[in-house]
A and B are shown apart, each in its own frame.
Chain A
Amino acid sequence: MIAVHARRRRRTRRVADATRSLGVHIAVGIWLLIALGPYVWMFLTSVKPTLELYVFPVRYLPSAVGFEAYEQLFTTTPFLRFFRNSAVVALSTVAFTTVTATLAAYALSRFRIPGKPIILVVLLVTQLMPAVLLVIPLFISLRSLGLLNTPWGLTLVHSAFALPFTTYLITGFLDAIPKELDEAAKIDGCNDLGAFRWVVLPLLAPSLAAASTYVFIYSWNEFIYALTFMTRESARTLPVGLHGFIGEFLIRWDLLTAGGVIATLPTVLFFLLVQRRLIAGLTAGAVKG
Chain B
Amino acid sequence: MARPHRFRTILATALALLIGLAAAQTTIDYWLWLDDTTDPVWPAIVEEFHAAHPDIIVEYEMIPLGQYYDRLLVAASSGSAPDAARFKEWWLGDFVENDLLAPLDGFVAGWPGADDVIANLYNTGRTRADGPVYMLPHQYITFYLYYRADRLAELGVDPPTTTDEFIAISKLLTDPANQRYGFGLRGGGGGQDQWLAYMLAGGCDLVDDAGAVVADSQACIDANQAYIDLFRVHGIAPPSATSDGFAQVIGAFEAGITSFVAHHVGSSLRLTNVHGDALGVMDIPVVDPSKPATMAAMAGNVIFADGAKQAAAWAFLAFLTEHEQMDKMSRSVNGQLPVLASVAALDHYQNNKFFALSLRQADYATAWPPLPGVGYISSQLWQASMQQALLGDITSEQMMRGIAETLRGNY
Query: Taking beta carbons and an 8 Å cutoff, which residues of A are in contact with B?
Result: 51, 53-56, 72, 76-77, 135-136, 139-140, 143, 227-228, 231-233, 240, 243-252
Of the four ranges (under 10, 10 to 19, 20 to 34, 35 or more), the interface on chain B belongs to 35 or more
- From A55, A136, A233, A240, B78 is in contact (CB under 8 Å) with A136
CB within 8 Å of A: which residues of B?
Answer: 33-38, 61-67, 70-71, 74, 77-78, 80, 179, 190, 246-247, 250-252, 254-257, 266-267, 270, 273-274
Residues of A within 8 A of B63 (CB): 244
Bound Cα distance A51, B275 (Å):
10
Contact A56–B257 (Cβ < 8 Å): yes
Whether A248 and B179, one on each chain, are in contact in the complex, defined by CB atoms closer than 8 angstroms, is no
B272 to chain A, nearest CB (A): 12
Q: A136-B78, A244-B37, A247-B65 are in contact. List 14 more A-B contacts (CB 8 A).
A: A51-B273, A55-B256, A56-B255, A76-B38, A136-B74, A139-B78, A143-B80, A228-B71, A231-B71, A244-B62, A246-B64, A247-B33, A249-B266, A249-B267
Contact in complex: B67, A227 (CB < 8 Å): yes
Q: Return the chain A residue nearest B180 by Cβ.
A: A56
Which 7 pairs from chain A and chain B are nearest by CB?
A: A247-B35, A54-B254, A76-B38, A56-B255, A54-B251, A244-B64, A249-B266
Asked whether, in the complex, the Cβ of A228 is within 8 Å of the Cβ of B35, the reply is no
Report A239 CB to chain B, min CB distance, Å: 11
Q: In the complex, A219→B71 CA distance in Å?
A: 21
Contact B66 A246 (CB under 8 A): yes
Q: State in angstroms the CA–CA spacing of A56 and B190 once bound together.
A: 24
A251-B61 in contact (CB<8A) = no
Max count, chain B CB within 10 A of own CB: residue among A76, A77, A139, A247: A247
How long is the Cα–Cα vector from A233 to B34 in the complex, in angstroms?
A: 13
Given known contacts A51-B273, A54-B254, A54-B255, is B34 in contact with A231 (CB within 8 Å)? no
Q: Give bound CA distance, A256 to B37, whole Å.
A: 13
Which residue of chain A has the shortest Cβ distance to B179 in the bound complex? A56
Closest chain-A Cβ to B297's Cβ sits at a distance in Å of 10
Residue of B62, B64, B80, B255 touching A243 (CB-CB under 8 A): B64
State the Cβ distance, B35 to closest chain A Cβ, in Å. 3
User: Which of A139, A232, A240 is close to B74, meaning CB atoms less than 8 Å apart?
Assistant: A139
Q: Which of B33, B77, B274 contacts A51 (CB 8 A)?
A: B274
A143 surroundings in chain B (CB, below 8 A):
78, 80
A213 CA to B22 CA in the complex, in Å?
55
A77: B residues at CB distance < 8 A: 37-38
Establish whether residues A243 and B247, one from each chain, have CB atoms under 8 Å apart when the complex forms: no
CA distance A233 to B66 in the complex (A): 15
Decide if A248 touches B246 in the complex (CB within 8 Å). yes
Question: What are 26 contact pairs spanning A and B, CB under 8 A?
Answer: A54-B252, A136-B74, A139-B78, A143-B80, A227-B67, A227-B71, A228-B74, A231-B61, A233-B61, A243-B66, A243-B67, A244-B62, A244-B64, A245-B64, A246-B64, A247-B35, A247-B36, A247-B64, A248-B65, A248-B190, A248-B246, A248-B266, A249-B266, A249-B267, A250-B36, A250-B270
With A55-B255, A247-B35 as contacts: A135 and B74 at CB distance below 8 Å: yes
**In the bound complex, what is the Cα–Cα distance between A137 and B253 (angstroms)?**
44
Residue numbers in A under 8 Å from B70 (CB-CB): 227
Query: Would A249 and B37 count as touching, CB distance under 8 A?
Result: no
- Interchain nearest-CB distance for A153 vs B (Å): 14
When chains A and B are docked, how far (Å) is the Cα of A179 from the Cα of B254? 67
Q: Which of B33, B78, B190 contacts A140 (CB 8 A)?
A: B78
Query: What are the residues of chain A within 8 A of B267 when measuring CB–CB?
Result: 249
Set of chain B residues within 8 Å of A246, measured between Cβ atoms: 64, 66
**Cβ of B35 and Cβ of A248 under 8 Å apart?**
yes
Docked Cα-Cα span, A22 to B34, in Å, equals 53
Determine whether the beta carbon of B33 is less than 8 Å from that of A248.
yes
Q: In the complex, what's the smallest C-beta–C-beta distance from A279 to chain B, in angstroms?
A: 40
Q: Which residues does chain A contribute within 8 Å of B255, judged by CB atoms?
A: 54-56
Residues of B within 8 A of A228 (CB): 71, 74
Question: Which residues in B have their C-beta under 8 angstroms from that of A76?
Answer: 38
- Return the chain A residue nearest B270 by Cβ: A250
